[in-house]
Amino acid sequence: MLRLLCLFTGAATAIPVVWALGWAVWGAPVSITEYVSLLGSLILVASAAVSSSKRTFAARLALIGTVAVWSFYMPAIVGFASTRLSDQELGLAVLLWTPSTSPLVIQQPAQIPIIPSTRLSARDVQQIEAAGLTGELSVYTANNRYGSGKKSHVTIIMQRPVSDIVELKEPDANSVVYVQGDHDWRMFPADAPTLKRTIRLEPVPSDPNWPGANPQTSVMVELSTGARQGFGVWWRTPDSGRTVK
């Protein structure tokens, strides 16, 4: 019975590790724990081949193999649990801002029944107005959703394409507004709790094969898994009705 258990456990624990190592061919990172775990699986298989007269030795081999296997699986289980517990559903809106001394005007697109995410909610509008902005805002996108779980929301107000990478911290189960200033970014409310995960704004290099192309800003949301999802913000040139500063 012990032989069958060691043989089955060794084979079953080796398959996911070999599968993970296979991704290294495509550039995936490889951890030393994967090799240690694979060695542990082989030790378990080897312990099944030890004769019945050496049960104590076989049991010791099985123990060593089990410890080696768990060096990979335990961090993976802890990491998965941490990912699930820290996940949240992040709503994201991006508005383009033309500052002026005129009272704030927010231009929203017409309501489209089959696309309900094109307009800001009343709560979003109230929070934007509380930031004390003046001039004109136009909605580029509203209520995009990333992740799942507790609710958070970010409104990013931009007046120009970014020239360098900007990292904006994600709120922790609350709503914030980020406003692009002349030299920095401001968060409202300033004391809102945040996570280590960020929303990355990054300039997109122009395509040399497409002269005169509009500048673009990449907006990428960091998920609890470490991956990023997002979209690009295209900036109209003066000829198309908007000045890029």
pLDDT tens track for 128-181: 999 999 999 999 988 899 988 889 999 999 999 999 999 999 999 899 999 999
- Distances in Å between the alpha carbon of 212 and those of 209, 216, 236? 10, 12, 11
pLDDT exceeds cutoff 90 at 200 = yes
Contact 134/104 with Cβ under 8 angstroms?
Answer: yes
pLDDT number for residue 112? 59
Residue 148 CA to residue 212 CA, distance in Å, equals: 39
pLDDT exceeds cutoff 60 at 240 = no
Output 148 or 49, whichever has higher pLDDT: 148
Percent of the chain with pLDDT over 90: 39
pLDDT exceeds cutoff 80 at 238 = no
> What confidence tens digit (pLDDT) does each residue in 83-111 have?
666 788 999 999 999 999 999 999 887 76
pLDDT number for residue 241? 45
Where residue 121 falls among pLDDT bands split at 50, 70, 90?
Answer: confident
Residue 69 CA to residue 35 CA, distance in Å, equals: 9
Q: Name the pTM for this structure.
A: 0.66
pLDDT number for residue 243? 42
Where residue 26 falls among pLDDT bands split at 50, 70, 90?
Answer: low
pLDDT exceeds cutoff 80 at 223 = yes
User: Nearest to residue 175, comparing CAs of 112, 234, 123?
Assistant: 123
Where residue 245 falls among pLDDT bands split at 50, 70, 90?
Answer: very low
Average pLDDT over the chain, rounded to an integer: 82
How many CB atoms neighbour CB 34 within 10 A?
A: 19
Q: What does DSSP assign to residue 106?
A: E
